[in-house]
Amino acid sequence: MTENNNNLQHIAIIMDGNGRWAKRRGLPRAAGHKKGAETVKEITRAAGDLGIKYLTLYAFSTENWQRSKEEVDTLMGLLREYLKSNLDELKENNVKIRFIGERDMLDKDIVDSMDKLEAETAANDALTLCIALSYGSRQEIVGAVRKVAALAKRGDISVNDIDIRMFSDMLYTKDIPDPDLLIRTSGEQRVSNYLLWQLAYTEFYFTDTFWPDFNKKELETIIQNFNSRERRYGKV
């Protein structure tokens, strides 16, 4: 592997293409989501093996609530299964899990399982797996603006205290460094309301592979590509 001087700590992924993967095989979309959930486990293990410190996965967007009830139910069913069956493996691999997104939109049993997984993996320190669930970046930013405005209104801070650091701390991703690399599968080249603030200096990589076919080998190839890039941050 090429020398890693780009200090890759955090990979964010937009896991896209489950539906098209299934359609190509003449299967219902649900089959793509099911296979995609297996890929989540494979890529979590791979990221840990490759020494990545943070992996943030886009599992369900605020906009995805607009899909048919049948599809939302399928996705929530798979999520329940994942939450209920994954604790042992996360513990075994020393993975700390964290969820970002709007919890109010999710069913109570799901939120309870999320809380439980977070609590039971809180002391783990190999990989931090951050799952974006019912997540929308504009909603996250507006939420942060509200928090800052409330503090200023109460007089707890002055308007001049507001800076990048303080604002970052109001986001769901508090204490998580910005992604170094964003990968989107399935050939789409857009951000779809994901981590708009956090991606300010992230490197982007788009692959045509549908998420259910994504694997460790391709992840390694992408990491090699990332390591060969020059990150300039506005300097020369």
Amino acid, single-letter form, for residue 43:
I
Residue 110's SS3 state is helix
- Give which of 39, 21, 35 is closest to 183, Cα–Cα: 39
Work out how close the CB of 18 gets to Mg ion at its nearest, in angstroms, rounded to a whole number: 7
213 in contact with ligand IPE (CB under 6 A)? no
User: Which residue is listed with tokens 């050939």?
Assistant: 187
* Distance of alpha carbon 198 from alpha carbon 184, whole angstroms: 16
* Distance of alpha carbon 33 from alpha carbon 55, whole angstroms: 19
- Give which of 14, 31, 34, 12 is closest to 22, Cα–Cα: 31
Here's the x/- map for Mg ion, 15-54, by CB under 5 A: it reads as -x--------------------------------------
214 in contact with ligand IPE (CB under 6 A)? no
User: Which residue is listed with tokens 């890929």?
Assistant: 39
Work out how close the CB of 16 gets to Mg ion at its nearest, in angstroms, rounded to a whole number: 4
Contact with ligand IPE (CB under 6 A): which of 39, 44, 56, 61? 61
Here's the x/- map for ligand IPE, 180-199, by CB under 6 A: it reads as ------x-x-x-x-------
Residue 15 contact among Mg ion, ligand IPE, none, beta carbon within 5 to 8 Å by kind = ligand IPE
Q: Check if 64 is active-site.
A: yes
| Closest residue to ligand IPE using C-beta atoms | 19
Q: Check if 16 is active-site.
A: yes
Q: Which of 16, 18, 86, 180 is catalytic?
A: 16
Name the token pair of 232: 């300039």
Burial class of residue 28 (count of CB atoms within 10 Å of its CB; 0-12, 13-18, 19+): middle
Work out how close the CB of 47 gets to ligand IPE at its nearest, in angstroms, rounded to a whole number: 17
Measured at the CA of 113, the angle between CA 107 and CA 114, to 5 degrees, comes to 90
Residue 61 contact among Mg ion, ligand IPE, none, beta carbon within 5 to 8 Å by kind = ligand IPE
User: Is the CB of residue 56 less than 8 Å from the CB of residue 127?
Assistant: no
79 in contact with ligand IPE (CB under 6 A)? no
Q: Which residues are at the interface with ligand IPE (CB under 6 A)?
A: 14-20, 58-61, 64, 75, 186, 188, 190, 192
Active-site positions read 16, 64
